[in-house]
Structure 1
Amino acid sequence: MSPSIRLAAATSGAAETVTAADDWFKKIKGKHRQVFDATSPHEGFPLAWARVFLTTNNETGTPDNELCAVVILRHSAIPIAMEDRLWARYKLGEMVNVNDPITKAPAVRNIYWNSQPGDLPLPDMSVDQLQKRGALFCVCNMAITVYSGMFAKKMNLDADVVKKEILAGILPGIQVVPSGVWATNRAQEHGCSYCFAG
């Protein structure tokens, strides 16, 4: 599938999520707000920087309820939003160059969710732990559509079926948005300062 065809296909499902996604951005609250634009797993730095934002604000007198960290997972960062079974089925660790710290092989589980000791460089920086502190996560529908087409072609599957399976395997509390760049704009419109998170 050519890039132009993939891009056209990626826009087809976006309209379904626009209303829900716009409403989701109303959850952004607090005195200090920052959006972390994650285009790759980047060794977990998008999560580390969100944790550092929250923790250093705590240390300088601002509690979590006055803070909002928004992490946008787009491009090759989208596997961070996916269940273990998708990491195994679609070999996501191999695709995005993430190795399992235990096996040292390409990860077939999401090391960024319900992390085990040694998975991540900082304690309490996994998605679920950051969510408990009020951090918001969203994932790019356009990237999901493009990667669904790529997986379907490689595995001789139907792209729509693959996309449905991926959407069903998005982790709890993570909002699907029309695109990551759309979400980056919306977060800033809702008062977030911008941080490129790699």
Structure 2
Amino acid sequence: MSFVSRRSLFASAAVVLGAIVLAPRPAAAQDGKNWIASLHGTHRMLFDAPATANGVPLVHLMNYYDTYNTAFNVPDREIDGILTFYGFTTFHGLTDAMWSKYNIGAFLKENDAKGVPFTANPWRTSPSALGMVLPQASIEAMQKRGATFLICNNALQILSGMLANAQGLDPKVVYADMKAHILPGVTLVPGMVIAIDQAQRAGISYHRQ
């Protein structure tokens, strides 16, 4: 299976998006409209990560918490770090089962240290970044510290459709399957463009990855 390049991503997305626009939008796409209400901290920053950047977005999120802890004596309970999953990070909000079932690592050309495509979500428990394995920066580790993770419904529809077309599968079936297997604690938002706007309106700091 060939890697989905940026050029093919946007070209294919236009085709898939056309089909999505013409089809009725599922009611469940409205999940996560009020995600800001669940925030608890006084120090809040959204890490906008449409690209994996070799795991660096997770490092930035971890550093946000660590630096407030060590340099400013601010506890985790007063910090809200928010990381986005859309674009090339969309599938990082899904379970290991989805990565294995749909060969997501091969589709995205994301490989382990031996050059073998990942068959499990590399960000869930043991992400690699800056030449190191950093379990302390993983999704699960950061969730335990209170971090929020958002996955874009629009991106999930588009990317699942692209993957389905590449594998000769039914896009609607693949989308429904993936939507049912979002990582525990990850919030599905209708569209990341709206979630980012909501964050700005709420006075949440912004960090482009």
Q: Residue by residue, what CA displacement relative to the aligned partner does 1:158-190 show, whole Å, maximum 9, x if unpaired?
A: 111110111111100001111222111112222
So what's the TM-score if we normalise by structure 2? Answer: 0.84
Whichever residue aligns with residue 67 of structure 1, its letter is I
Query: Secondary structure of the residue that 1:33 maps to in structure 2?
Result: strand
Q: CA deviation at 1:76?
A: 0.9
4+ residue stretches of structure 1 with deviation over 6 A?
116-119
- Give the % identical residues: 32
Structure 2 CA distance for partners of 1:37 and 1:14, relative to 1, 3 Å:
farther
Correspondent of 1:67 among 72, 79, 84: 79
Verify the 8 A CA contact 1:70 1:187 in the aligned structure 2: no
The reply on whether 1:25 has 2:62 as its aligned counterpart is no
Q: Residue by residue, what CA displacement relative to the aligned partner does 1:34-82 show, whole Å, maximum 9, x if unpaired?
A: 0001102111111111100000011121111111001111111012111
* Structure 1 gap ranges (5+): none
Structure 2 CA distance for partners of 1:136 and 1:163, relative to 1, 3 Å:
same
So what's the TM-score if we normalise by structure 1? Answer: 0.88
Query: Secondary structure of the residue that 1:22 maps to in structure 2?
Result: coil
- Aligned residue for 2:162? 150
The reply on whether 1:97 has 2:109 as its aligned counterpart is yes
Q: CA deviation at 1:93?
A: 1.7
- Aligned residue for 1:47? 58
What pairs with 1:1-198 in structure 2 (closer than 5 Å)? 3-10=13-20, 12-13=24-25, 16-18=28-30, 20-59=31-70, 60-101=72-113, 103-115=114-126, 121-197=133-209
Q: Residue by residue, what CA displacement relative to the aligned partner does 1:65-119 show, whole Å, maximum 9, x if unpaired?
A: 1110011111110121111121122222233332123x43121111111228999
Q: Which has the higher contact order (CA 8 A, sep 6+)?
A: 1
Distance 1:188 1:116 in 2: 28
Query: Secondary structure of the residue that 1:21 maps to in structure 2?
Result: coil
Query: Secondary structure of the residue that 2:136 maps to in structure 1?
Result: coil
Whichever residue aligns with residue 112 of structure 2, its letter is D
* Structure 2 gap ranges (5+): 1-10
Whichever residue aligns with residue 39 of structure 1, its letter is P
